[in-house]
Structure 1
């Protein structure tokens, strides 16, 4: 609330000259006027860097330390001292790098001389003298840097001490216990404070009525006052409703603008952008009314404070109203970032408006009783009911956020990070809404205010981030003409992530982090971190990325030029051209990385020990990848295979599609890609059908029936082979009588074709010609035949009667024994009739 009040006050004071009011500007002093001369970066040295006065700094530091020991030092004084010390520290930080190039040069010269021997007498006199001279000069050049480092350390320690004191003050303020607001004795104090404040405002107004100077100023500024009042009143009463209706109609597509209707996304984007006018225009009206009241010169000191609080409350209310219309749109056809029903959206708009009203009311109530000058009991009683009402509205708003998270989880939509964040915000709002009234009831009003009102400000910032994210998506869709059913693009998501990261300092300011602490954090961040003798800073990283990107782009341009303009004009085959282009890319990227590291000033020598220690473990863990990488380089340099070659590796056969440093892609004749590690191509057996030339042998076996004229068969096959246009004349096609087969006489037609890639079509065509010529010549192409011999064919006749099989003696005895066993088994039946069977 105080932050909004300060911003509004500065803005209004800047606008007061436009209204013709005479304003007085307080005199300000810059840190350079209050800091001693030692803190001024002066000239007078060739390098442009002043030599700090360390004696004056030490004296000033002693005085600051003594002042910090005083228990009644104010926060404003602490801030002033901190700014002064930071100016000193910046100067010492610059002085730490003085004589840097000369020191590096001397160190390089000492390194060139080598390490001093153990026995100095063994060293050459001129070398020893040169070493001593350089060492003395190095010590002289390093002395200012040592002094600057000592002064920098003391200044930095003082800054940290002041930060610790300020944080302790802030914590003690938050944990300060005020009188209980529910104690009836404190109610009388609050009522008395309100009555006194009202009496003071009325008294100030009566005093201004009796002042002739104030009345004359009122008469002089009356036209301006009337104009401001007319503008502010008209905008608040009529203009605001017109603007909201216009934006609503634009977002819902009710207007007949053909250019907009032809682009719904553009219309929606324009509506989102113009929706900001729902805040700007009413806020200008509120500011106009405030300027009119302040220009009238009829407000006293307390009246001016109350007017600022009322103007701030009006602006806060209109911001809340705009956020409510964005998060919970009134029309069902408008885009809503929350999955809620129409009734829930209506409830959300009411809750957001109430929150804006309660925040403004809180500021007005505290301004009415004097804010910081108010009695603690009165401030506790006045603020408690507003805090409770605000917490109730915040609790209900958090429930709506949770309802959105549940609806999103129950729907078929993917749960994005935004939806998870909305659910987390809702749960956090519930906990804070429960904790703030309890703290206020226990007398911790400052803690309750520091908990609930930053939460509301964070919700506003979160809603603005959602709006900006939606605008980025719409802008991307318009620029790329992306259809609605297309997958979510990556670029808007990355921009949203960057936007969320950039908003973190604003969230930190909202939650009480001081601006000086943020500047300190960014200073440390920009300073970087130390690894051995190497300092890595964000600026160096940016230079590294920029230079490498330029080198990478130049490498790609060079590859494109080689592939399109240079190599096609040479006699190098296609595979060699691809190898040269790939090798150029690898070498160019490696050189770009080296140049980027060198340009950024990153010294990798300090990482040599760490790299050596890690190389052993990396070697064992990545030995397969390294082996494939080296094999890929060998393939690119030696080129046993090239892109477009027809190769056979194990059970895989196909055409080489691409060769990378780790693997090679083979496209089989089934149009599938097989990824083969490069190690298999180097260490294993590979058949390359088309490496040296495109010629290859084609063999067509054929069999003829026994009894055929073998000479005629050979002549026919020879004629067919000689007539094949792809067959080479040297060596010519040949026909061989191979064998006497089980079913046929076996011949082979062998020929060398000029392009082995056409081997299958040649075989097909020759087989067609063989079948045609053999049919014309009456030569039979046999098929497999077998003779089946039946041992007893008479059993297949229908009138066949099988002869009885003679019974052998042993079989008859066995049959008789079986009969007796059956009789005994039947007679032993337990039915009781066994005796009758013996008749």
Structure 2
């Protein structure tokens, strides 16, 4: 086919399409029903909404078919149909008394419906929607009269505190106070009533959510029909054949219907034109776009070419889906479609979108061209095989959706659906097994090349193993009879893989845009901006994954409403609006600070007499002050209370002030220190018998602030060549040992338990690893214990040790445990030697042993320790 012929056909199809639009031949009723068809389609592939999707599909089918009706009658549903108006009346005065009466009626009936637990999922979803509407209105009402309340409260504050008991207030002030308090109570009454109603509505919403989740869980664990039950096969095949017979019969009846045939003849030119357009787009459109994208990409592979090729490649989805829409439109305006076929055909555009999107994603994940930019490290043969798997899996997913839609329309029982879907599920599992091998092979290849598996490769490895497990478990569950659990595993896994592939493509897109803007392809791997953009994209995809794996839209809206409402920390309420205000103001202050630093460094400071160290100190000081003021202004304007942070802010300001000065010394060693960074500012180091905190590192010397608040200037050469102990390198974690002694006779187990409790109660003590108590041994005067603990901040060890000693003393006094202290008894063998008598030796009283005399030799004197050999805790005291 020549280029001129192609252009002619494309222009002809475009003209026919425009004529169709102008004549208004696009099907109105069918398009109007697309919503219900799409809901049914989504419910067939997403877990958690099966019964709701069935109900919506039944409603759409009832509107499309006059011969087929589905009705569901339950007492709870009928009760809901008699519910008063769901939406409260809006007035300038807020909610009225009638609104609250209506709300009480709705809440009572909702409580009864929740208690009965007999309504369908659709009925509960409608009930939940009503409750959410009321709750939102109550939330708005909680802030009613806020301005007037603030005014009255300010007037009360101006009057001062109320007089204490026994004191009297003058009549004028007392009357004003009573009037203001009455006015304040009157203004606060609507808000209090709204708060009570809000709490009730919120509790009812949570109860409805619990019911829906319980039903979803029950559906997963309910044992149903096994597809291996051969007795179910004839019925399933007969149901499928009956469907095809009915479709054929409906088509024949439509052809023999005179009015329908007249419509067909009237719209025949449009039908032929749309069929031609559909044929061209479906048969050749994707191939044309693929070749065009490869031609645009070329061999240069620049960022601009890649982006243009990416935009062109979207035609691989748009053109085929457009062909399906044209085909569907031609079938509708032909007038020969029966209601059954028309209801099923509404799903075809969505199925086509899913199918061709899967092919497009597979083409990017497993590219044809060989190059280093492929997401997975695979061979050309493996990539070719991967593209086949992506196409087949997309087709199988489309087939499953179509069968599920037919089952909804025809009212097939679950056994029929299980028998027909089981082969599809098994084939999908087989292809997923092969696909998981590719993912694992990529991680293994990266590990063999780099020696150590990276974060991305590790994620791919985990993903591959997860897909492998799902592919094994899902068919087994389905074969046993857990069909709902099986399809809840297999089909969301397929959609998740497609979503992950789409995120990978977006990741490549952000990198190419970055290269286009910066022109630095070699540095894109180390750039921060693409990583941040990809992080945002990943966060935005979380709700999509939640929907894929069974979350309801109402769940997401509930989480969003609570997120927007914010949260409270202490007396401070923080909301996204407050956070955004903080970020914007702080960013503006930060930008101004950096501009001022640049101006000072390049324009003003070079013209002063300050040396380079002083200039750097001044620039750093401006940066610290500017960032501090920006943060302070942002926090204040955001409404965050800083009163509780005043002490911490004061301590931080002192620390920053000590680190502003810089001294330039020891150039060579300073450069080595700055490159190797064995120490950093703020580290607690010990060098040359001096220890303290590093406050400044320059190119020649390092300033250390000791605990005596004195500065020690250490040449950098000493730090390079000498031995340096760094207590806080990398972190502030360090060990503290506290020694404790108790008297002999104490219960050692009880002592150990008390010491353990005291250590674990300290906020700065890490619990992992936990603190330990060591029974060190038997000392001369006491039983020695050691508490060994790891502190979060080793610089606070003295404070922690002091607090622990205080608590130990208090606990020991409370428990009656004695802390011993050394006692000394002095024995004098010859006390008379201290007072010699010249005449004679005095008589020794009877019963008293005479000590040695001077003639017997020297009389040594010694101190005898008060050991506790008896274990009575009182010491021996010698032999008296």
Task: Return the TM-score normalized by structure 1.
Answer: 0.68
Partner of 1:23: 28
3-state SS of paired residue (1:503)? helix
Partner of 2:282: 236
Inter-partner Cα distance in structure 2 for 1:339 and 1:332: 11
CA contact (8 A) 1:647 1:686 kept: no
CA contact (8 A) 1:325 1:349 kept: yes
CA contact (8 A) 1:214 1:298 kept: yes
Partner of 1:273: 311
Residues 1:156 and 2:156 aligned together:
no
Partner of 2:189: 143
3-state SS of paired residue (1:179)? coil
Partner of 2:92: 44
Deviation at 1:188, TM superposition (A): 0.7
3-state SS of paired residue (1:513)? coil
Deviation at 1:146, TM superposition (A): 0.7
Partner of 1:476: 514
Decide whether aligned partners of structure 1 residues 556 and 377 sit closer, same or farther in structure 2, where only a CA change above 3 A counts: closer
Deviation at 1:558, TM superposition (A): 4.2
Deviation at 1:683, TM superposition (A): 2.1
Deviation at 1:189, TM superposition (A): 0.3
3-state SS of paired residue (2:450)? coil
Decide whether aligned partners of structure 1 residues 52 and 525 sit closer, same or farther in structure 2, where only a CA change above 3 A counts: farther
Inter-partner Cα distance in structure 1 for 2:540 and 2:499: 12
Matched ranges for 1:94-133 at <5 A: 94-133=140-179
Partner of 2:798: none
Which of 272, 281, 291 is 1:226 aligned to? 272
Inter-partner Cα distance in structure 1 for 2:408 and 2:392: 24
Inter-partner Cα distance in structure 2 for 1:346 and 1:577: 62
| Mean CA deviation greater in 677-686 or 173-182 | 677-686
Decide whether aligned partners of structure 1 residues 300 and 676 sit closer, same or farther in structure 2, where only a CA change above 3 A counts: same
Residues 1:629 and 2:656 aligned together:
yes
Structure 1 unpaired stretches of 5+:
1-11, 254-260, 636-642, 669-673, 689-839
Which of 464, 471, 489 is 1:451 aligned to? 489
CA contact (8 A) 1:51 1:95 kept: no
Deviation at 1:19, TM superposition (A): 6.4
Deviation at 1:576, TM superposition (A): 7.2
Partner of 2:432: 394
Partner of 1:535: 573
3-state SS of paired residue (1:53)? helix
Matched ranges for 1:420-439 at <5 A: 420-439=458-477
CA contact (8 A) 2:511 2:524 kept: no
Decide whether aligned partners of structure 1 residues 361 and 116 sit closer, same or farther in structure 2, where only a CA change above 3 A counts: same
Inter-partner Cα distance in structure 1 for 2:336 and 2:118: 37
Deviation at 1:540, TM superposition (A): 0.8
Kindly report the root-mean-square deviation, in angstroms, between the aligned alpha carbons of the 2 structures. 3.9
| Mean CA deviation greater in 556-565 or 33-42 | 33-42
- Corresponding residue pairs, total: 633
Decide whether aligned partners of structure 1 residues 272 and 681 sit closer, same or farther in structure 2, where only a CA change above 3 A counts: farther
Deviation at 1:506, TM superposition (A): 0.4
Residues 1:185 and 2:210 aligned together:
no
Deviation at 1:391, TM superposition (A): 0.8
Inter-partner Cα distance in structure 1 for 2:542 and 2:23: 36
Which of 696, 699, 702 is 1:664 aligned to? 696
Partner of 1:596: 634
Residues 1:301 and 2:339 aligned together:
yes
Deviation at 1:553, TM superposition (A): 2.2
Residues 1:491 and 2:529 aligned together:
yes
Deviation at 1:438, TM superposition (A): 1.1
Partner of 2:703: 676
Bigger Cα Rg = 1
3-state SS of paired residue (2:167)? helix
CA contact (8 A) 1:436 1:451 kept: yes
Which of 181, 197, 210 is 2:256 aligned to? 210
Deviation at 1:37, TM superposition (A): 6.9
Deviation at 1:552, TM superposition (A): 2.3
Deviation at 1:469, TM superposition (A): 0.1
| Mean CA deviation greater in 585-594 or 434-443 | 585-594
Deviation at 1:179, TM superposition (A): 2.2
**1:170-224 deviation digits (Å, cap 9, x = unpaired):** 2333344432211221111012101211121122112212222211221222111
Task: Return the TM-score normalized by structure 2.
Answer: 0.65
Inter-partner Cα distance in structure 2 for 1:38 and 1:335: 55
3-state SS of paired residue (1:667)? coil
Deviation at 1:372, TM superposition (A): 6.7
Inter-partner Cα distance in structure 1 for 2:292 and 2:559: 45
Partner of 2:872: none
Decide whether aligned partners of structure 1 residues 444 and 594 sit closer, same or farther in structure 2, where only a CA change above 3 A counts: same
3-state SS of paired residue (2:237)? helix
CA contact (8 A) 1:221 1:295 kept: yes
